[in-house]
């Protein structure tokens, strides 16, 4: 059912709804976890990897609208989970979820959604909802599922309208590890699953702001020994681990809010000439530590088909090459605010927004996109080799 500026009557059999902050009610069929949740509605254009998307901690406090209509048709399994118990609040899909048809499936997507307390809504005109987001920006909303079709629409409208939104929110405490750990897993291979880490050096300390597990696996594949530490770790705690390099992970929320405690640590690492590599939120935090500014985007970038071009002089003969990338971000570094000595290395070919920076004279760089994929193309794995190989 297409979104409407009015509040349509509840259709017979409607067991789920999405209530936007402006009062719009979108009806459908609920599935997964029974209940309701408030967050920001965004859209993702990936055609595969819905389970990885739903367990990406960067989606904390968000409701994902999938533009691909057939979500759930390959079921769910434990191997495609990017984090335990974290990720998106729920999802909105076009077609009703059907029984799976895939040899890797271990359970139905509906069952997996319920077990992981994520709310689903099917039967929605996701094309119309996506168009609305593109035109008006990502709205705040409440998603709800009630098998007996009982909803307090007025209360949900108030909750959506009164929710603060993502600007100014530090969501890292919701998703970051609370203790340090030595990472053991390697990348997944068909027929073998996940391998074991085997390298003892170089040693990369990864700050977990809400990381996807495949980032750590890909660092291991590139040859690193990885120690994962909480996002609020201090400079002294990190340096006590004797890192050869420090990785700054992805994560949710407003980078300016997280930066209140993360930026001083990153500045200390820069002053100590510790090699740095940041992805997504980590890239934004590196930008803030260098003196740039970040801003909320109108609709954000989320999908597995985003073209990014290398533009920085530091990429030599590869300057001008285009990578197809995975993205998931609603904030970005303002490329016009980069200070002297910081080079813009990558830009989005969709809108020209900043997608990469490097510090001249230091081994410190970051990218806005997700080179570890999961889901998505693997054009950008070279960045892990560039980082680990230089340590």
Active site residue 372: yes
- Give the containing element (helix H, strand E) for 277: strand 276-279
Are residues 46 and 376 in contact, defined by beta-carbon separation less than 8 angstroms?
A: yes
Active site residue 306: no
- Give the containing element (helix H, strand E) for 145: strand 140-145
Residue of 33, 301, 346, 370 marked active site: 370
Are residues 303 and 330 in contact, defined by beta-carbon separation less than 8 angstroms?
A: no
Residue of 91, 280, 329, 355 marked active site: 280
Look at residues 327, 340, 211 and name the one whose alpha carbon lies nearest to residue 277: 211
Query: Residues, the chain, total?
Result: 391
Place of tokens 């950008």: 380
Are residues 187 and 218 in contact, defined by beta-carbon separation less than 8 angstroms?
A: yes
Order the strands of the 364-367 sheet from edge to edge. Answer: 181-182, 225-230, 203-208, 245-248, 276-279, 364-367, 354-359, 342-348, 294-310, 322-333
**Residue 161 burial (CB < 10 Å; 0-12/13-18/19+)?**
middle
Beta bridge partners of 135: none
Residues annotated as catalytic are 280, 370, 372
């Amino acid at each position: 059912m297409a979104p409407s500026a009015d509040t349509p009557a509840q259709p017979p059999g409607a067991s789920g709804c999405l209530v936007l902050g402006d009062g719009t009610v979108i009806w459908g069929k609920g599935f997964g976890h029974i209940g309701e949740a408030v967050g920001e509605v965004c859209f993702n254009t990936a055609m595969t990897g819905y389970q990885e998307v739903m367990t990406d901690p960067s989606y904390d406090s968000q409701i994902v609208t999938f533009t691909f209509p057939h979500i759930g048709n390959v079921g769910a399994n434990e191997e495609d989970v990017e984090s335990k118990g974290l990720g998106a609040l729920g999802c909105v899909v076009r077609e009703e979820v059907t029984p799976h048809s895939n040899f890797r499936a271990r359970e139905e997507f509906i069952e997996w959604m319920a077990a992981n307390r994520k709310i689903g809504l099917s039967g929605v005109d996701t094309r119309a909802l996506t168009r609305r987001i593109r035109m008006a920006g990502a709205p705040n909303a409440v998603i709800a599922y009630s098998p007996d079709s009982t909803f307090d629409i007025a209360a949900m409208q108030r909750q959506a309208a009164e929710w603060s939104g993502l600007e100014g929110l530090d969501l890292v405490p919701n998703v970051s590890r609370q203790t340090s750990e030595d990472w053991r897993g390697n990348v997944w291979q068909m027929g073998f699953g996940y391998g074991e880490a085997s390298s003892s050096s170089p040693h990369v300390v990864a700050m977990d702001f809400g990381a996807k597990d495949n980032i750590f696996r890909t660092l291991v594949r590139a040859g690193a020994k990885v120690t994962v530490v909480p996002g609020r770790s201090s400079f002294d705690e990190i340096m006590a681990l004797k890192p050869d390099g420090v990785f700054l992970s992805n994560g949710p929320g407003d980078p300016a809010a997280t930066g209140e405690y993360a930026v001083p640590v990153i500045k200390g690492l820069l002053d100590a000439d510790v090699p740095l590599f940041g992805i997504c939120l980590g890239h934004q935090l590196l930008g803030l530590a260098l003196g740039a500014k970040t801003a909320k985007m109108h609709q954000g970038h989320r999908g597995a088909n985003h073209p990014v071009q290398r533009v920085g002089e530091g990429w030599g003969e590869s300057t001008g090459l285009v990578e197809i990338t995975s993205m998931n971000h609603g904030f970005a570094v303002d490329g016009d605010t980069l200070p002297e000595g910081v080079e813009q290395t990558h830009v989005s070919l969709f809108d020209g927004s900043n997608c990469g920076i490097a510090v001249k004279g230091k081994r410190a760089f970051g990218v806005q996109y997700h080179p570890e994929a999961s889901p998505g193309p693997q054009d950008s794995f070279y960045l892990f080799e560039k980082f680990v190989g230089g340590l």
